[in-house]
């Protein structure tokens, strides 16, 4: 089937453009505020509305700066060295989850210290917000017609603009479902019982790594990188260690006594 024509710009005022991709980030941060606030109340944390807003703002800075720097370093350093002004064109895409994760962890460690909250506990109450943002972000990728999948003959294959005129896996939608509602449901199930601080966070790390590793088999490798180690892409080389680390840490942390 043909890719449905969706204008990546949903609103214009003169030369000012508002893009769906950016809107997805905004919606993700708004949802994160309410998810974190609810989780903090359920855990009995003395966080005011302003405290939660500070947490979300800090994490937003971490994910944007880390995501952009991660993409530049991991995926396309030579291009950005040649086009330095493109460093700031985040509305055109070009964000790395793995870089964003490192940025969020650093920002989370900072804000946890400022608010005098244990980092594992803060990570647990923030982790369920991540799948919402991830799912929305993948929808933004689909609207942009970017990060499409490999050539396929499955009935739901889509001919993307710039995809060579052949049907491809809508891998953005695969990721949107797995990294979004499926991962969110897993974290909700894990978080229903009182567990040692850090279990929910490490569960997120493990399952994101697993889902991303699997979907990468259907996603077209980045043109500037291709496959780096046999059949594996950069995304897989970054995600599989996440899966192993998350799995091991979730098991180890779950053996501790319940508490922050």
Task: Give dist(CA 69, CA 80) in Å, integer.
Answer: 10
User: Of 64, 31, 36, which is closest to residue 50 (Cα–Cα)?
Assistant: 36
Q: Report whether 193 belongs to an annotated binding site.
A: no
Indicate the SS3 state at residue 203: helix
219 contacts 171 by C-beta, under 8 angstroms: yes
Tokens describing residue 33: 């505020």
Task: Give dist(CA 146, CA 173) in Å, integer.
Answer: 11
Q: Tokens 């993307």 belong to which residue?
A: 160
Contacts within 8 Å (CB) and 24+ apart, 53-58: 54/111, 54/114, 54/115, 55/111, 55/115, 55/122, 55/126, 56/29, 56/32, 58/107, 58/108, 58/110, 58/111
User: Of 65, 140, 123, 127, which is closest to residue 96 (Cα–Cα)?
Assistant: 65
Task: Give dist(CA 184, CA 195) in Å, integer.
Answer: 17
Question: For residue 108, what are the contacts with CB-CB under 8 A and spacing of at least 6?
Answer: 58, 59, 62, 119, 122, 123, 126
Beta-bridge partners for 12:
17
Tokens describing residue 257: 């006594």
- Residues forming the annotated binding site? 138
């Amino acid at each position: 089937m043909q890719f449905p024509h969706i204008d990546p710009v949903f609103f214009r005022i003169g030369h000012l453009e508002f893009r769906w991709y950016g809107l997805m980030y905004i919606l993700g941060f708004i949802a994160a505020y309410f998810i974190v606030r609810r989780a903090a109340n359920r855990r009995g944390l003395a966080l005011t509305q302003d405290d939660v807003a500070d947490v979300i703002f800090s994490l937003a800075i971490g994910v944007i700066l880390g995501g952009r720097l991660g993409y530049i370093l991991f995926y396309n350093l030579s291009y950005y060295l040649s086009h330095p002004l493109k460093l700031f064109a985040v509305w055109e895409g070009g964000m790395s989850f793995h870089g964003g994760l490192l940025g969020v962890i650093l920002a989370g460690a900072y804000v946890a210290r400022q608010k005098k909250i244990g980092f594992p506990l803060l990570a647990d109450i923030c982790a369920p917000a991540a799948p919402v943002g991830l799912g929305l972000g993948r929808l933004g990728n689909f609207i942009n017609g970017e990060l499409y999948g490999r050539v396929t003959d499955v009935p739901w294959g889509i001919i993307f603009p710039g995809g060579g005129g052949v049907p491809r896996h809508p891998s953005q939608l695969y990721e949107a479902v797995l990294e979004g509602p499926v991962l969110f449901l897993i974290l909700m199930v894990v978080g229903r019982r009182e567990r040692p601080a850090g279990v929910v966070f490490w569960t997120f790390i493990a399952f994101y790594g697993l889902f991303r590793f699997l979907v990468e088999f259907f996603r077209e490798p980045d043109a500037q990188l291709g496959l780096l180690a046999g059949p594996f892409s950069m995304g897989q080389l970054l995600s599989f260690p996440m899966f192993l680390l998350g799995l091991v840490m979730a098991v180890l942390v779950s053996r501790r006594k319940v508490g922050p």
